[in-house]
Amino acid sequence: MTPLQRYIAEEIATDHVEGLLSRREALRRLGLLGMGTPAAVALLAACGESAEQSAPTTTAAASGSPTGGASGSPAAAPPGKATALQPTAITLPGPEGRTLQAAWAEAPQPKGGVLVIHENKGLTDHIRSVTGRFAGVGYSALAVDLLSEEGGTASFTDEAAATAALSKIPQDRFVADLRAGLAELGERVPGKKLGATGFCFGGGLTWLLLTSGTPELAAATPFYGPFPDGGQVTGSKAAVLAIYGALDARVDASRAAAEAALDKAGLTHESFVADNADHAFFNDTGPRYQPTAAAEAWRRVIDWYGRYLA
């Protein structure tokens, strides 16, 4: 099992422990990943025990920031959505002669370009919305469908099947497809700096890009993504704003390794840990959406890109 496969499996188990998935549905989804019933049952039990033992802090922290934490009152609408532009479906050339599907949102006078990397559910309406939100604040944005080779996210009627399909894709293909997305983005915003923002699984892929060497990235803002085991940030010049939720003990456990790798690479970086926020707190279509934390995270991301992309 690769680190990303393990991450997906643990996310399914955590969703069960937190009451978001029934035991039957969790076992079904783990089975789609290729886990046998004994291994799946053991994973559910282990995650349950871990949840009982952990006592996540609810105090926010933001290294490099004098204030820290999420602030303000809950937003009436998801952050950035009121000014979002409508993305369009496009195709672009991928590695080895393949064709990639993507969502593209063009800012009228782009200040830079942002590659948006989706969660383990594929290129969903939520990710399309985020792509349009970046364009609405001046950053042309592109979201590659990492299930393009499998027919695209829209070809899956079962969300769990889409997740299982993603779990079986080699990491090298993810990196190659995302680099193709960066190349396309660079052609569409010539002369502008590029950034990458990924969520959950996509946050992990943002870290994977950084540890694979992506000198074309000027900035990156991974949202609650796991840092690769033993990863080293080499060949990158990106200024990194890493975003976490204070209640997300599973992903937060990799924060120290990420910060150490960024320190070692000598990159500008900052971590924001949102108070009273769990994994996937930015996704306004999901059960863990936390509007106050989401609004503060969005403000910080736009400020970060204003400093390092615009």
Was domain 59-308 assigned CATH 3.10.450.50? no
pLDDT per residue over 132-149, tens digit each? 999 999 999 999 999 999
pTM of the model: 0.91
Domain boundaries, the chain: 1-55, 59-308
d(Cα 134, Cα 127) in Å, to the nearest integer?
11
Q: Do residues 294 and 223 touch, judged by C-beta distance below 8 A? A: no
Q: Which one, of 239, 190, 191, lies nearest residue 218 by Cα?
A: 239
d(Cα 259, Cα 255) in Å, to the nearest integer?
6
pLDDT for residue 56 is more than 80: no
Output the six-digit token pair for 179: 């680099």
pLDDT band of residue 53 (cuts 50, 70, 90) is low
Output the six-digit token pair for 211: 């540890």
d(Cα 41, Cα 170) in Å, to the nearest integer?
26
Rounded average pLDDT over 142-158: 97
Q: Do residues 144 and 176 touch, judged by C-beta distance below 8 A? A: no
* Sheet containing 61-63: order of strands: 61-63, 269-274, 239-245, 217-220, 194-198, 112-117, 139-144, 99-105, 88-93
pLDDT for residue 229 is more than 70: yes
- Pairing type for strands 112-117 and 139-144 reads parallel
Q: What mean pLDDT value characterizes the chain?
A: 91
- Write phi, then psi, for 221 (nearest 5 degrees): -135, 80
pLDDT per residue over 233-275, tens digit each? 989 999 999 999 999 999 999 999 999 999 999 999 999 999 9
Q: What is the pLDDT of residue 290?
A: 97
d(Cα 105, Cα 107) in Å, to the nearest integer?
7
Output the six-digit token pair for 43: 């994973």
pLDDT band of residue 59 (cuts 50, 70, 90) is very low
Q: Cα Rg for the chain, rounded, in angstroms?
A: 18
d(Cα 62, Cα 2) in Å, to the nearest integer?
30
pLDDT for residue 159 is more than 50: yes
Residue percentage of the chain with pLDDT more than 90: 87
d(Cα 61, Cα 23) in Å, to the nearest integer?
34
Q: What is the pLDDT of residue 50?
A: 72
More confident residue, 176 or 66: 176
Rounded average pLDDT over 17-31: 94
Q: What is the pLDDT of residue 54?
A: 61
β strands within the chain, DSSP E? 61-63, 88-93, 99-105, 112-117, 139-144, 194-198, 217-220, 239-245, 269-274
Q: Which one, of 276, 279, 274, lies nearest residue 298 by Cα?
A: 274
pLDDT per residue over 64-94, tens digit each? 333 333 334 444 589 999 999 999 999 999 9
- Ranking 46-50, 120-124, 151-155, 170-174 by mean pLDDT, the lowest is 46-50
Rounded average pLDDT over 163-188: 97
pLDDT for residue 12 is more than 70: yes
